[in-house]
A and B are shown apart, each in its own frame.
Chain A
Amino acid sequence: MEAPLFDPAKLAPGEAARRRHRMLTILLLLAGPAVLVMADLHWRTGFDFWNVLHLVIFVPLFLLVALGAAQAMVGFAVRRRGGDRCRISGSLPPDDGEPIAVPTAVVMPICNEDVVRVMEGVRATYESLQRAGRLTQCHFFILSDSTNPNCWIAEEAAWLALCRELGANGRIFYRRRRVGINKKAGNLADFCRRWGKLYRYMVVLDADSLMTGAAILRLVRLMERNRRVGIIQGVPLLTNGETILARIQQFASRLYGPVSAAGLNYWQLGEANYWGHNAIIRLAPFMRHCSLPELPGDGPFGGRILSHDYVEAALMRRAGWAVWLATELEGNYEECPATIVDLAKRDRRWLQGNLQHARLVIAKGFHGVNRVHFILGILSYLASPLWLAFLVVSVVIAARRGDDSARLPDAGFAVYLHWSYAGEALALFGYTLLLLFLAKVLAVADLRGRPDDVASYGGWRKLLEGVGLETLVFTLLAPVLMLFHSWFILLTLIGQKVSWGTQNRGAGGAWLEPVRAHAFQTLIGLVAAVIVYRIDPLLAAWMSPLLAGLILAIPLSLLTGSVGPGLALRRHGIFLTPEETRPLPELREFAVAIDHRRAAPAPAPDLAANYGLLQAVVDPYVNAVHVSLLRDKGESPPETELRLGGLRATLLHQGPAALSARERMALLMDADSMHVLHQELWATPGARLAAWWRLALEHYARLAPAPVTPFAA
């Protein structure tokens, strides 16, 4: 007899509360004894200001460690029992194969992203959906906020080429905002205001997302089935990593993710979170209830909400709509930062947004679980300065205590457990490590009895080698990220703004950026090593993994951000994931297409900086596409025309370097100017054009320049 389908609307009263209480109980059982032992250690040496401070910092840090362990334990138990009966994917009946005539928009907000990656992601998703062939009313939207002219112009041309190649005119749309108000949230809100009424659902993709048609169909069917669900968030798998860091992240998230996600779903249920992409949203309630307000005041905690996703989930839930996590949605992918510096850039952006949520923890009407999401989001970054403070206070305590610990009498727990002071400290350290690594151990244990899955990671041996190497690398990276986060929090608190930078998800970067980014950390590592060694060589030995991570930050960053070693590890079967060993057709085709597109020659170095402008002016087709997408401005005041005329003349006769970025942008945004520039450039003799334009025109010349020989006049 088949198990009945899960119906979230008929979730047993109290089920969610029971699960959350159980989680909290496990958390207390795991953390309580550790806190007690830490208190006992301090009691033995005598409580003073530093000891109390140490204990106060220890409590939230250990609670976070215990929460990860508790979640993994619950997730493991749930999966070993055949999966959670309360999961949204369990609400779907067998697929009847019928067409689904539900107006759905697949939207991809982008901002100065790798255009090739964006378009190939859209292509792969679109083609997969076409092959699935059942979602008959689905449109794609590329929603650009790009401010870099090179990206902007490339996006326009690539969009039209994509439409033409796929025969998707009228099904794949492109819109660029003139002013990128409120960043990504504003970009999506703008889509909703223009076209939101036309669609029932919105599938949100990130610039590095890829979803199969089957995954999108499944999400739509889940929403159709569960009419009180406002958002379903998929758990995207990381793919296409080439550097060591990217491959480690995708390996770790693939291996440990399912157990952790099962644990998350266990206590979140219909109060899950929205992560901003790879999710489906019911548009009507989203438009009605999830428009973001501004937070009162200025500074880092006021103004526009930067991390919109958590808040939108909270608003959706506040309005009575459930938010679920689809833990077992296949064909749902994204990419990850390729280097430590890129990882830090992303965290810098997220960090300020998460800290801003401190205000929202006390906003009226939010569900308690949403408040917990806010708090955990804040703590995920606040943990770094707490850890730093914990380490500093530990060193201070060691320095003040000197060599007394060996002479401490047995007291407190030591009387019953016969622990020396060092033995007790070691036991606590061991317990902390056990909880820290429990998620990894349980995730590996979860593969027991599933030889096919083990084989997709390269077999047990390669898998365990991968786990070991990943643990080593992340142990060394942890103090580096700790210093980054602590520094970012300080910057945020003193009111430094965060720009919406674009991370490099693809390949390793130049060496200069990592050297600059980690130089100070290396110095801190060296100074700390000397200080700690002088205080207590044994303490230095204990802290050596942390100190080594800091001292080696630059070479570690360069090595983990390199493509060559990453691919070499792949050839040796380390950090393999099922997506690499058994890729779906969409991933295979995507990889081939990306390689093909990236093989195209790069623009000449002298032209590269303004290549978008070059193409929009010179190329007849790019120019046509560009002006067709510009808004008709109507009559302009004579002063404006005069100013634009001057800018055009300067551009043609002195080259783009003679204009500021703002002035170049003003020309690119003016359709009349782009018409005139195209016409005048081609019709002006070379002697009157800037050398830069003459070089640009050579791009289009059929004949190479005459060879220079000794006989040339």
Chain B
Amino acid sequence: MVAAESSNPFLSPADPAWDEAFLRVQSYLRAYGIGSPVLLNRVTSEIIAVARASMPENGSGEPVAVALQVTHARIGEWFAKAGHRIDWSDDRDRAHGRLAMIATGMPGRWADYFLSDQPVPVDLGSALSTFQVLPGPELRLSNMAPEPLEFGFESGDTRLPGRRWVPVRALVTWTLIFASLGVTWAASH
């Protein structure tokens, strides 16, 4: 009877620490995108029940911490069920798993399957196993040495068409303009 009570959170006496653990797990799973309140409550209750049952074995552990450990274990089991073996006790693997979930669009497309008892769809399983996130193509390193600069007037290259000298016609035109301005000034002043 005692065991049954401790395994079912709704039959256990109220405890603010476990209330907090319940809300924390629920919030955490909600952050994963579980939208269904029924699924969310059921999974959270199951996790809290297991956490409470395992509490004596954890000695003086805090309910929130223990509940989160159980949550991670539960997610790890689900990943194994989905055919994606991840060591869910390892921080990096956990991050990799979460990346797989978001990269495959799980929170929107397959949210109701996450942690549920339903069989994992084949599409989802294979998407989780084969996902890739590529922040960039493979590196092909090359050198870019700064172009040296020297200072002093010297015209550019002549590899493109164009002349570097001023044609006589242009010189004559400009001389005429300046001359006419000069003559105008001289004649009137």
Give residues in A with beta carbon < 8 Å to B: 9-18, 21, 24-25, 28-29, 32-33, 36, 39-40, 43, 139, 141, 160, 163-164, 169-170, 173-175, 189, 192-198, 228, 270-271, 287, 289-295, 315, 317-320, 322, 359-360, 362-368, 370, 411-413, 415-416, 618-621, 623-625, 627-629, 672, 675-676, 679, 682-686, 697, 700-703
Contacts and interface: CB of A to CB of B under 8 A. Distances in A.
Nearest to A684: B64
B158 to A, nearest CB: 9
Given A623-B98, A685-B20, A169 B30 contact: no
B117 interface: no
A293 B181 contact: no
A263 B6 CA distance: 85
Given A195-B137, A413-B188, A629-B135, A685 B31 contact: no
B122 interface: no
Interface string B45-78: 0000000000000000011110011000000000
Contacts of A164: 102-105
A432 to B, nearest CB: 18
Contacts of B155: 367-368
A685 B133 contact: no
Interface string B101-113: 1111101000000
A323 to B, nearest CB: 10
Given A25-B170, A621-B107, A700-B27, A683 B68 contact: yes
B141 interface: yes
Contacts of B181: 32-33, 36
Contacts of A292: 146-147
Q: Which 5 A-B pairs have the closest CB atoms?
A: A367-B156, A624-B98, A21-B170, A320-B159, A675-B91
Contacts of B97: 624
B189 A363 contact: no
Contacts of B20: 685-686
Given A173-B134, A198-B137, A293 B96 contact: no
Contacts of A320: 157, 159-160
A183 to B, nearest CB: 15
B31 A675 contact: no
Contacts of B142: 192-193, 196-197, 287
Interface in B1-38: 17, 20, 23-24, 26-28, 30-33, 37
A700 B184 contact: no
A287 B143 CA distance: 8
A411 B189 CA distance: 7
A707 B23 CA distance: 17
Given A193-B143, A291-B144, A14 B163 contact: yes
Given A173-B134, A192-B144, A270-B160, A364 B101 contact: no
A700 B30 contact: yes
Contacts of B136: 141, 173-175, 194-195
Interface string B132-176: 111111011111111111111111110111111011011001100
Given A196-B142, A683-B68, 5 more contacts: A160-B102, A193-B142, A293-B147, A413-B188, A697-B24
Interface of B: 17, 20, 23-24, 26-28, 30-33, 37, 40, 62-65, 68-69, 91-92, 94-99, 101-105, 107, 132-137, 139-157, 159-164, 166-167, 169-170, 173-174, 177-178, 181, 184-185, 188-189
A615 to B, nearest CB: 10
Contacts of B95: 623-624, 627-628, 675
Contact of A684 (B65, B99, B185): B65
Contact of A195 (B30, B40, B139, B167): B139
Contacts of A141: 136
A194 B141 contact: yes
Contacts of A413: 188
Contacts of A43: 189
Given A11-B161, A29-B177, A139-B137, A365 B156 contact: yes
A173 B135 contact: yes
Contacts of B146: 291-294
Contact of B103 (A139, A169, A411): A169
Nearest to B99: A624
Contacts of A685: 17, 20, 62-65
B188 A365 contact: no
B185 A36 contact: yes
A193 B140 CA distance: 8
Contacts of B169: 21
A640 B150 CA distance: 45
A362 to B, nearest CB: 5
Contacts of A683: 64-65, 68-69
Contacts of B134: 169-170, 173
Given A11-B161, A14-B167, A198-B140, A362 B189 contact: no
A138 B101 CA distance: 27
Nearest to B153: A362
Q: Which of A16, A33, A164 has the most CB of B within 10 A?
A: A164
Nearest to B158: A320
B156 A317 contact: yes
A491 B47 CA distance: 64
B112 to A, nearest CB: 16
Given A14-B163, A25-B170, A682 B24 contact: yes
A701 B141 CA distance: 47
A421 to B, nearest CB: 15
Given A192-B142, A685-B64, A25 B177 contact: yes
B143 A682 contact: no
A370 B17 CA distance: 73
A364 B40 contact: no
Given A17-B163, A164-B105, A628-B95, A40 B189 contact: yes
A364 B154 contact: yes
A679 B91 contact: yes
B65 A620 contact: no
B31 A194 contact: no
A15 B177 CA distance: 22
Contact of B28 (A10, A169, A624, A682): A682
Nearest to A43: B189
Contacts of A364: 149-154
B176 to A, nearest CB: 10
26 contacts: A14-B163, A17-B170, A21-B170, A25-B170, A28-B178, A32-B177, A32-B178, A39-B185, A43-B189, A164-B105, A174-B136, A194-B136, A198-B140, A271-B162, A291-B145, A293-B147, A293-B148, A320-B157, A360-B149, A363-B151, A364-B154, A628-B95, A684-B65, A686-B20, A702-B26, A702-B30
Contact of A628 (B40, B99, B149): B99
A302 to B, nearest CB: 12
B188 A416 contact: yes
A697 B27 contact: yes
Contacts of A628: 95-96, 99, 133
A256 B185 CA distance: 36
Given A198-B137, A318-B157, A362-B153, A291 B91 contact: no
A414 to B, nearest CB: 9
B98 A620 contact: yes
Q: Which of B40, B95, B98 has the most CB of A within 10 A?
A: B95
A32 B147 CA distance: 40
Given A24-B174, A318-B157, A415 B188 contact: yes
Contacts of B103: 160, 164, 169
A160 B104 CA distance: 10
A620 B135 contact: no
Contacts of A11: 161-162
A16 B17 contact: no
Contacts of A289: 147
Nearest to A22: B170
